Structure 1
Amino acid sequence: MRDSNALPRRNFLQAGAALLYAGSYPGSLNAAPALHSPKNLRALGRSLHGRLVLPGEMGYAMAAAPNNARYADILPLAVAMCADAHDVQLCLRWAAEHRQQFAIRSGGHNYAGFSTTRGLLIDVKAMNKVWYDLDKNRGYIQAGACNQDMADAFSGTNFAIPSGRCPTVGASGLVLGGGWGFSATHAGLTCDSLVQTDVVLANGQHVSVDDRGDYRDLFWALRGGGGGNFGVNTAFSFELHEVKDDVTIFNIVWPGEKQIELLMALQDIQRNHACQISTRTKAYPDAPGAHPKHAQLLVATLGQFFGPREKALEALAPALKLVKPSKSDIRQMSYWQARDYLITDDPNGMYDVRSSYVADGLPREALERMLHWMTKWPGGSLLPQNMGILFAIGGKVRDVACDATAYVHRNANYIFEMESAWAPIDSPDVVRRQQAWLSEYFAAMQPFMLRQSYVNFPSRELPHWANAYYGTNLARLMRVKKKYDPGNLFTFEQSIPPA
């Protein structure tokens, strides 16, 4: 056990009144009155090894902006660009003593806007070093590293940490919520490779957490229990996976015919090659107009096969023979070339998201309902390419017991995700109609779902969100929360409550 850099002060929880709306609930208009002043903020800034960025200063607009621009008007009191764990400790103590709401940010990609705030934004992006020790088979990252930072460090080697595909997503949020990526079915979730992490707790201690020391219960919770619930993670250690063999990428689009048969075939392909292939399969219209016709709905699959091209073609043959693709890119390449091919910055801009898990696959009736709701899309200026996506998350992910880590969704083969997105040119009425469509569509699909949702695809509109995110692991997570954060310092709209 390591207990380092603890500040010689009383526990944050003893500082003044209990902190209200602490965590990262943006726009919490009922928060306790801020007891800050420019003088106090300047004192905090002088104490940081990094930088405190105030409104009006150069860099503030960039530092404050979240990925989901629908929350861009939630402007922080200040942005603390932390350089190390010492800065994180100071910021947490300042927020507690001044009863000031705060949010924690590593990448800023929280879909529901929980990584922004009207209080103090504690940003760890400047803590972004990545390194490795091949003799120990370990990769090390600081909490501000993003997917691209990890790829840059490991590209050219024969080793990798299973991670996500969006380059700017923060690795902290990724691993703490589980960690889907195109390697998940073959190598497991990002959290499944985690062996140790450093955390600043609510009491101000900076501790090392793993599955052998005094914090085993906390280590369990941090592998799938979501970011911002138990402390501020400052660094992570991972077991490395060897990736010396080539993979085969595929990017295939079919015209608007035999969509149900194609989607059934693609699910069979994933099921029959559960640990060898990873797919992101979807249907979407060929133009942004309202109420697309059934014949306008295209089917597409993107992903990688862990093996040579000829074996990938054999696996994909049932779908390739069913309908001639309008686009077919199937190529063998190195793991790192494939990673660069598969990256995306989607979603970006202004958007809303819903997600559920699928146990085995979507039956014909579910696919018919999905396509029917796609034809009901009310329209907007953007092409709705993410109306219904099946992210494969079975294979190796299912080899771990549901209660072995906080990530409970080990009984699923897919995350089913749907989005609406809009641009500034879209009127408020267009946005309202899109959001109503999304809510009704999501509800219509629930009979075919596990009633579970991915905490890294959060939604403020999700009913029974705690059970959806954590299922049968919720009660244990609440006990861990009470043990390490009894005063509920880390709280936001969808934070885990103490038992």
Structure 2
Amino acid sequence: MNASIKKNARKGLKIISKGDELYHYARVISNTRFGYMPAAVVYCDTTEDVSFCINYCRDHKVPFRVRSGGHQHEGMCSANNAIIIDLSEINKITDIDKKKNTAWIPAGKQLGQVYEELEKIHKTIPGGGCQSVNVGGLTQGGGWGTSIRKYGLTCDSVTDIELVLASGEKVIANNENKYADLFKALKGGGGGNFGVVIRFKFKLVSILPVVTTFGLQWEKPKDVKGVVTRWAELHAKKDGIVEELSATCTMIIEKLPNSKEFGVHGRMGGKFYGSRTKLKVLLHDYFGEFLPKELKNDIFSENPVGYSDTSKLKKAALKSKTKSKDATPTLSYTANQRLLTDFINPAGNMEYSMHIGKKCKDLSLTILPSSGPSSTCDQPHPHKVSSSFPKDDVDHKKLVEQVYTYLKNSCYRSDVNMYMSFHCMGGAVTNNAGKNSFGYAQKPYMLQIQAWWDDVSNVFTNVGRNSEYLKWVKDFRISLNKYTEGSFINFVDKTLVPDIEKEENRLKLLEIYYNKKNLNELRKVKKKYDPAQLFSFQMSILPK
């Protein structure tokens, strides 16, 4: 098969297969829990290359997977003995129209590069935080980021989508042409279901005149639970939070730099489309009892709740490069985004075998990792995530208390970062309900359980550790079942339903992610454009 695809491919098309010198580099995906051995990785340069791969795999009955950045949390962008259609070489932003504020952005472009290039014209897209995530998977899954309340999901800024269908044909789908049903399905229906997306036409958003980013920390249990509860209750109110402000809360066990004690600490970080002065007023209005009377001028470099400043966040109350009367900008918008991501997705600093509330299980490590991952989503690591939304009638205080209790009673080691993220929603997300395939637009926020272990330099592994951390995520989610429902396809967890090889169980799992109504519509689109299920993987949508 490898020789056959190389023989049929155009001259110069880069194909790396088993036995090639760079094979073990090419096969790596973001979640290194999955050590798949694909038959070959094809690095497509053009739409025609993608069509060639689709036609070849269809005609020769060869399984394939589509990979834009390799960040599929359950590893479903790869598989043993499959052809990997890699889009990372299709990475040039084109057709930038400054008058209409539009640009074509390819699926294989990394977010960090998108931010850097668009910043030069004072524009951006409402993307996610992880710099190495590529646009393709992010946007097709919906896309959460810290502009979400003002501009909605990442997919909400897309006006046109170019893709290759199962037939090998290239089409452009938008809301006005005959592919309107496909266009809606591709916005939140998840990647790799209906075709191979080559690029998106985005309506760009401005970072002028000023965007302010902030980060706050709390240590005392009363403050941690109080501020997260207040945050949740405010988002549950229709007009509780202005749409210009998007923020994430994180609960994590850590030791602050000048503290001797470990505990469940709280963080809040976010982005405000407005001035620092106005942000200070809003923060006091929303969280006044948890803040000092006077926030320092740079609310990142001076920790506003009395603790030592965070080394990664010095001088990080960042703005765009346009001056305002409030302050002179210090770093770029892109650096702003990077520091914010590091803050709300913290790397651990625990001591080995540190335990909180119960005895740690002996994992019999022959070599002790010195620390947990130095980053989370921007380096290959073994990891596990899961997500959910609060039930409509939930008591937010009880939900927050349950999260705190589980974390407090958890066991932590030096090789792992484990925490709960509360991601804001509402605002433009709710306003865009029905214009995409996201099934939970009415929810005020989202919960994401995260566990990342092994620094990228650690070549040792231990099955017992993997099992322990997977169990931690599973048990955490189960402990919240009384308060939560649903899940988000970008933060995918395929273990929510057992035996998903069976059709009835697969449909139960997919309904959790899309809701019943949306899933029925997506299945109709699947039947229309891919009735033979050429695009097939463990959680691909089944035709109706």
TM-score range, shorter chain: 0.7 to 0.9
How far apart in 2 are the matches of 1:398 and 1:484? 29
How far apart in 2 are the matches of 1:362 and 1:341? 33
1:307 aligned onto 2:274: yes
**Deviation of residue 294 (structure 1)?**
11
Consecutive unaligned residues of structure 2, counting only runs of 5 or more, are: 292-304, 321-332, 343-374, 498-507
How far apart in 1 are the matches of 2:164 and 2:262? 54
Q: Paired residue for 2:415, among 342, 367, 382? A: 382
Consecutive unaligned residues of structure 1, counting only runs of 5 or more, are: 1-35
**Deviation of residue 442 (structure 1)?**
0.1
How far apart in 2 are the matches of 1:362 and 1:52? 54
Contact map agreement 2:165 2:195 (CA 8 A) in 1: yes
Residue 6 (structure 1) aligns with: none
Residue 415 (structure 1) aligns with: 446
**Deviation of residue 308 (structure 1)?**
1.4
Residue 283 (structure 1) aligns with: 251
Residue 479 (structure 1) aligns with: 524
Q: SS at the partner of 1:357?
A: strand
How far apart in 2 are the matches of 1:431 and 1:392? 30
Runs of 4+ in structure 1 off by over 4 angstroms are: 268-271, 327-330, 359-362
AA aligned opposite 2:19: G
**Deviation of residue 251 (structure 1)?**
1.4
Residue 75 (structure 2) aligns with: 113
Residue 154 (structure 1) aligns with: 118
Q: SS at the partner of 2:490?
A: coil
Give the direction of change, closer, same or farther, for the CA distance of 1:426–1:283 in structure 2 (3 Å limit): farther
AA aligned opposite 2:274: G
1:140 aligned onto 2:104: yes
AA aligned opposite 2:61: R
Contact map agreement 1:309 1:332 (CA 8 A) in 2: no
Q: SS at the partner of 2:538?
A: coil
**Deviation of residue 453 (structure 1)?**
0.9
**Deviation of residue 383 (structure 1)?**
4.6
Structure 2 counterparts to residues 1-40 of structure 1, below 5 A: 36=1, 38-40=2-4
Identity of aligned residues (%): 27
1:260 aligned onto 2:260: no
How far apart in 1 are the matches of 2:335 and 2:461? 37
Give the direction of change, closer, same or farther, for the CA distance of 1:337–1:496 in structure 2 (3 Å limit): same
Q: Paired residue for 1:100, among 47, 57, 62? A: 62
Q: Paired residue for 1:346, among 358, 376, 382? A: 376
Q: Paired residue for 1:184, among 124, 134, 148? A: 148
Structure 2 counterparts to residues 163-178 of structure 1, below 5 A: 163-178=127-142
**Deviation of residue 412 (structure 1)?**
1.2
1:439 aligned onto 2:439: no
Q: SS at the partner of 1:312?
A: helix
Contact map agreement 1:352 1:421 (CA 8 A) in 2: yes
AA aligned opposite 2:401: E
Residue 54 (structure 1) aligns with: 17
Residue 298 (structure 1) aligns with: 265
How far apart in 1 are the matches of 2:167 and 2:527? 12
**Deviation of residue 287 (structure 1)?**
5.2
Q: SS at the partner of 1:333?
A: coil
Give the direction of change, closer, same or farther, for the CA distance of 1:93–1:433 in structure 2 (3 Å limit): same
- CA deviation map 1:213-233 (0-9, x unaligned): 111111111111110000001
How far apart in 2 are the matches of 1:48 and 1:85? 15
How far apart in 2 are the matches of 1:170 and 1:400? 23
Give the direction of change, closer, same or farther, for the CA distance of 1:58–1:428 in structure 2 (3 Å limit): closer
How far apart in 1 are the matches of 2:107 and 2:395? 37
Contact map agreement 1:139 1:238 (CA 8 A) in 2: yes
1:81 aligned onto 2:46: no
Q: SS at the partner of 1:474?
A: helix
Structure 2 counterparts to residues 479-498 of structure 1, below 5 A: 479-498=524-543
Deviates more, 1:326-335 or 1:311-320: 326-335
- CA deviation map 1:28-75 (0-9, x unaligned): xxxxxxxx2x4313313x42653111223243222211011111x201
**Deviation of residue 267 (structure 1)?**
3.0
TM normalised by structure 1 equals 0.86
Contact map agreement 1:162 1:190 (CA 8 A) in 2: yes
AA aligned opposite 2:376: D
AA aligned opposite 2:254: D
TM normalised by structure 2 equals 0.79
Give the direction of change, closer, same or farther, for the CA distance of 1:332–1:92 in structure 2 (3 Å limit): closer
